[in-house]
Amino acid sequence: MRVACLLFASSVSSVMAATIYVSPTGSGAKDGKSAASAFAGPAAGIAAANPGDSVILAGGTYALNTTVKITTNGTATAPINLIAENAYTKRALFDFRTQGFGSANQGIILQANWWHLKGIDV
């Protein structure tokens, strides 16, 4: 009985995991549920992510003038993935050149556990 409960619990959590799409040319009016309806910029995708989810960044340059804050925790069994569409050929570039200088402007702040980042250049 214990094995059946564990199998059921793991299958439920994997079904609930979402893939969230982000693009440098996305729109704030989009829902991020597909590449065609991608969020604009990483902040919206990161804010929508829950443990087990994957935030897929379309390749390209993301011109960012505010700090990207990551505060939602993943878990050991359900980390949150923030990954480029293809880490070898379609990397995501977070460009903070327009962000002002100062102690409040920090590019990326990672204040959470169990995140997996891949294919992102800063």
User: Could you tell me which of 68, 56, 112 has the C-alpha nearest to residue 94?
Assistant: 68
Helices (H), 17-112: 42-48
Q: What is the pLDDT of residues 62-89, one digit of tens each?
A: 999 999 999 999 999 999 999 999 988 9
Distance (Å) of CA 111 to CA 12, 21, 73? 27, 22, 8
The per-residue pLDDT for 43 is 94
Percent of the chain with pLDDT over 90: 70
Domain edges within the chain: 2-121
Question: What is this structure's pTM?
Answer: 0.83
